[in-house]
Structure 1
C-alpha cells in the first residue's frame, strides 16, 4: 500500500507541476496576446495619424510642407468627408470627418451615406455583366436587339456601325452627354426615355452619336443611361430593385441604395451636398433618375466590400456576383492599355495596376482605387463640389501605406513668365466637342476653367508649359510661324491638341 501511495502522490505532484507549467504558459500567451493587440492598436492609430497629417499637393515647391486634413478641409471649404483604406483584402480603417449636415449639426460617421455619382457606373457594370452572363446574351450585339421601350436612332454619323453593350460600358460608343446635373428635390422628374430624347422635364441634351462607335473613347453618362434602359427592358424590374437583389445584397452592401429619391433611408444618414463655397445645395441634394450613371448612395465602408470582392473574384477566390473570367473581362481596357474597361478605369504604374473611378454630382465628389494584386485600396467621398482635397488625401494614404504609383507629388521649380506671354495665352480652347477650356489671369496668377467645372490655378514650369497642383495634368502653348498662339497641348491621361477659338 505504501508503495502505491508514494506512486499516487508522485503522479499528483507531477500533475500539479504540469498544471503550474500549463498555467504559466497560458498566462505568458495571454500577456503576449495583450501586448501584440495593444501594439496593433497603436500601429493603426499611428497610421491614421500619419494619414491625417501628410496631405501634399501634386506639385511641391521648395517651401512646401505636408498639410493637416482638418486644416485642408477648412481651406477648401469642405464640410465633410469620409475615407476607407483597404490593406491585405480587409478594411484597415474607415473614418468620417466634419459635418454631414451643418444645419442640423449632424457629424459624418463611417455610416454616413454620400452620393457616389459616377462610381455608380462601376456597380452598374457588375449588374449588366451578371445579367448578360446569366441569360446567355451577347455583349457585342447591337443594343437595339435588347431595347424594347425605345430604340437608339442611328444616323449617318455612325456610318453603319452598331453600338454594343461593351461600347456603352467602356465609353467607346461615340455618344454625347458627358454627365447630368440632377433635379432639385420636389421638382418633376423625367422618365429614362425622356432623358434619352432630351424631352421636358429632362434638363440634358438628347443622347445621340458624336462619332463612329468603337473608334475612340469619349466619356458618356448618356451611354450609361442607355445601359440602364437595356437592363430594365430585359428584366422588367425597377433598376434599383435589380441592383439591390443581384449586386448590393450579395456584396454585403446593405447600407447602400440606388433608389432615387432614397425615401427608405433614415434622413439623418444622408449627407447634404455643398457647393465650392461651402453653401448647402438647395433641397440638400439633387435627385438622379439617371441611376446607372449617378444614382448610388453609399459610404466608403460599403464600397470597400465591392473593391475587395472584385480583387478576390479576379483571382478566382470568390464569385458573389460574377466569376473570375467575367471579372477579368470587366477589368480589361477596351481599347488602350490604360483607360476605360467595363465600368472602371485602369491605371498601370510600371506593372502595378489599379482599377477605379472618380465621382462628381451636384454637391458631391469622390473616387476609389483598388489594386489588381495585394488587396490594397482606398475610397474617398466628399460632400462638396470642390474635390481638390481628394488627390491630396490620395497622396497621403498612398505614401503612408506604400501604395505604389498613386501619389502624384513631385518637386518642381517655378518659372518666371513675361506679361506679354501670359496675355497671349488668354482665351478659349476647344478640348472636345463639348468641353471648352478658358484661360484667364489675375496679376501673375493663371487660371483655367473647363465647361461646367471649377476654376483651378496653373503654375509655370517653363515660359510656355504649365502644371496643376490639384490634378495630374499639364498644358503647353504652341505658337505658329507668326508667333501667335495657335493651340494648347493638354495632357491628362491622354494628349489633346486643343485649338484656340
Structure 2
C-alpha cells in the first residue's frame, strides 16, 4: 500500500512538473519592448492610399472587414526573428485557433524555395543555369516549336519567368479527385485540369509569369537528383535551414492534420478543407511564417557572407539580381524603393493567401499568411510593420480626399461592365458603391464624381466616363500610362 502511495505521489509530481513545463513553453518570452511593438503593429494597419483625416486601423477591424478567418505573422529584425503570433481561427468549425505553429499553404511563395533547390544543384555543379532545359530533362522533353524561333530555354529563364512559357497558375484538386502526375501536368493530359505546357513567345524576350515553367524545374530536380521532389527539398533545402515542420508532400500524415489551417473563401470553407497541388514547386509548400523567416534570414545572412548553409554569397546575389527586367529575379521579385531594395513573393491558392518581404540590407523582414482569399490585408499588415520598425523608404502612401456621392446619384453607376472577356458588376449597398470581379467584391471610394479608387487595387486609379449624365464605362489607369476601357453594357 505504501509503495502504491509513493508511486501515486511520484506520478502526481511528474504531472505537475509537466504542466509547469508546458505552461512555460506557451508563455510569451517577449520583452516589454517587443510586446509594445506588437501592439503598435496591431493598431497601425495602413493601405497604399491614405485618406485625409482617417486614422489607422487595428488588425481585428481589418480581419472583420475582409472576412479573414485566421492569419499568422512573423517579424524579422537584424536578421533575427523578433516575434511571431497567430490570430483568429485555423478552423472555425473545430474551434482551432491559429498559433505560430499552424501550417498554411504557401501557394506561389513555394517558388522561392524551389529556386533555392535549383541553385543548390548549380552550386554543386549538377546543372548549368545557362544550359538548355532539355539537357537535364530525361523523363519528358520540352516540345520546342516555331514559337520559340530556334532559341532554347535556360534554367535561368524558368526561375525568372522569361522563358516564354504559358500557364500562370493552377487550380489544384479536391482530395477526392484523381491527381495527375508531373508528366500528365506538363502534357496537359487527363486527369490534369490545366493546359499543355508550351511556348507562347520567344525565350528571353520579355517577362511573363509562368507556373508552367516552374513545374518544369520541378521535374528537372527529380531527373537530376534521382529523388522525389518533396524528398529532395526536405533534405537539401528545408531541413538544413531549420524548416523542420514544412513540407511539399501531398500525402499528409495524421499527426500533422491538426496543424493545418483550413482554407476559406469569405465565410465559405473550401471543399474538404483545402486543395491538393501536385504542381509542388509552383504551389505545393505547407509552412508558416515562423519557419519562412528562417528562409528570409538565410538569404540575408548568406548575401553578406555570414551563412553558407545553402548558397555562396555570389550565388545568393545572383538569386536577388533581376534577370531581364527591373523586378523578376530568381524565384523572387525585387522592389527598389528610392534606392532601398527589398525581395518579395506572394501567393494565392484556393482559400489561402501569403506574402513576404525581406530587405536586401539591414536585415528587416516580415511574413504574413492567412487562410482566406483577399490578400489586401497582407499588404496593410506589412505596411504597419514597416511603419513601426522604420523600414527605410518602404511606406509612402498616396494621399487622397474622399467625397460622398448622394445615394440617389449612385444608381447611374450601377450595372454590368465588360472588357477583354471579363465581367464587372457595380452595385449599390447601404449608400455605398461596390465593384465585383471574379467573385471579389470591393468598395468604391470617390475623389470626384468620376474618379475613384479601391483599397484592393494598389497604385491604380479609375475614372468613370460619362456623356449627357449617362455612364458609358470606366477607365482603369495603370502605371506607365496604359489605360484599359471597361464598357458599360447594362
The TM-score normalised by the length of structure 2 is 0.85
Residue in 2 aligned with 1:414?
402
Choose the corresponding residue for 1:281, options 251, 270, 283. 270
Could you report, residue by residue, the CA deviation over 1:317-356 in whole angstroms, capped at 9, with x for unpaired residues?
211111111101100011222x110000000101111001
**Distance in 1 between residues matched to 2:97 and 2:30, nearest whole Å:** 27
Q: Write the mapping of 1:292-441 to structure 2, written as runs, cut at 5 A.
A: 292-337=281-326, 339-407=327-395, 409-414=397-402, 427-430=417-420, 437-441=422-426
**Distance in 2 between residues matched to 1:226 and 1:371, nearest whole Å:** 29
Shift of 1:420: 11
Shift of 1:109: 0.7
**Distance in 2 between residues matched to 1:499 and 1:257, nearest whole Å:** 44
Please say if 1:442 is aligned against 2:430.
no
Distance of aligned partners of 1:347 and 1:105 in 2 relative to their CA distance in 1, 3 Å threshold: same
Could you report, residue by residue, the CA deviation over 1:377-426 in whole angstroms, capped at 9, with x for unpaired residues?
00000011122221221121111111134435332013688979975996
**Distance in 2 between residues matched to 1:402 and 1:395, nearest whole Å:** 10
Q: Flag structure 1 segments of 5+ consecutive residues without an equivalent.
A: 1-37, 431-435
Q: Write the mapping of 1:159-178 to structure 2, written as runs, cut at 5 A.
A: 159-178=149-168
SS at match of 2:335: strand
Could you report, residue by residue, the CA deviation over 1:121-140 in whole angstroms, capped at 9, with x for unpaired residues?
00000000111221252212
**Distance in 2 between residues matched to 1:441 and 1:140, nearest whole Å:** 48
**Distance in 2 between residues matched to 1:426 and 1:460, nearest whole Å:** 19
Distance of aligned partners of 1:486 and 1:282 in 2 relative to their CA distance in 1, 3 Å threshold: closer
**Distance in 1 between residues matched to 2:120 and 2:191, nearest whole Å:** 32
Please say if 1:47 is aligned against 2:29.
no
Shift of 1:485: 7.3
Please say if 1:180 is aligned against 2:170.
yes
**Distance in 1 between residues matched to 2:483 and 2:198, nearest whole Å:** 24
Shift of 1:496: 4.6
**Distance in 2 between residues matched to 1:366 and 1:87, nearest whole Å:** 20
Choose the corresponding residue for 2:110, options 117, 120, 135. 120
Shift of 1:457: 3.5
**Distance in 2 between residues matched to 1:234 and 1:72, nearest whole Å:** 46
Shift of 1:169: 0.8
Could you report, residue by residue, the CA deviation over 1:176-234 in whole angstroms, capped at 9, with x for unpaired residues?
21111111113210011111122111111222222221111111111111111111111
Residue in 1 aligned with 2:50?
60
Report if the CA contact (8 A) 2:450-2:465 is conserved.
Answer: no
Residue in 2 aligned with 1:204?
194
Q: Write the mapping of 1:210-249 to structure 2, written as runs, cut at 5 A.
A: 210-249=200-239
Shift of 1:279: 1.9
Report if the CA contact (8 A) 1:58-1:471 is conserved.
Answer: no
Residue in 1 aligned with 2:15?
none
Could you report, residue by residue, the CA deviation over 1:142-166 in whole angstroms, capped at 9, with x for unpaired residues?
2111111111112222222221111
Report if the CA contact (8 A) 1:330-1:343 is conserved.
Answer: yes
Residue in 1 aligned with 2:459?
473
Cα RMSD (Å): 3.0
SS at match of 1:46: helix
In terms of Rg, which structure is larger? Answer: 1
SS at match of 2:440: coil
Q: Write the mapping of 1:96-111 to structure 2, written as runs, cut at 5 A.
A: 96-111=86-101
Aligned positions, number: 455
Report if the CA contact (8 A) 2:415-2:426 is conserved.
Answer: no
Shift of 1:456: 2.8
The TM-score normalised by the length of structure 1 is 0.83
Report if the CA contact (8 A) 1:197-1:207 is conserved.
Answer: yes
SS at match of 1:78: coil
**Distance in 1 between residues matched to 2:254 and 2:241, nearest whole Å:** 20
Distance of aligned partners of 1:479 and 1:457 in 2 relative to their CA distance in 1, 3 Å threshold: closer
Shift of 1:358: 0.5
**Distance in 1 between residues matched to 2:464 and 2:93, nearest whole Å:** 49
Distance of aligned partners of 1:440 and 1:265 in 2 relative to their CA distance in 1, 3 Å threshold: same
Report if the CA contact (8 A) 2:333-2:344 is conserved.
Answer: yes
Could you report, residue by residue, the CA deviation over 1:411-470 in whole angstroms, capped at 9, with x for unpaired residues?
20136889799759963333xxxxx554432248665556x5624334344566543323
Q: Flag structure 2 segments of 5+ consecutive residues without an equivalent.
A: 1-27
Distance of aligned partners of 1:312 and 1:273 in 2 relative to their CA distance in 1, 3 Å threshold: same
**Distance in 1 between residues matched to 2:205 and 2:179, nearest whole Å:** 34
**Distance in 2 between residues matched to 1:86 and 1:379, nearest whole Å:** 9
Shift of 1:44: 1.0
Report if the CA contact (8 A) 1:56-1:65 is conserved.
Answer: no
Report if the CA contact (8 A) 1:180-1:204 is conserved.
Answer: yes
SS at match of 1:341: coil
Residue in 2 aligned with 1:148?
138
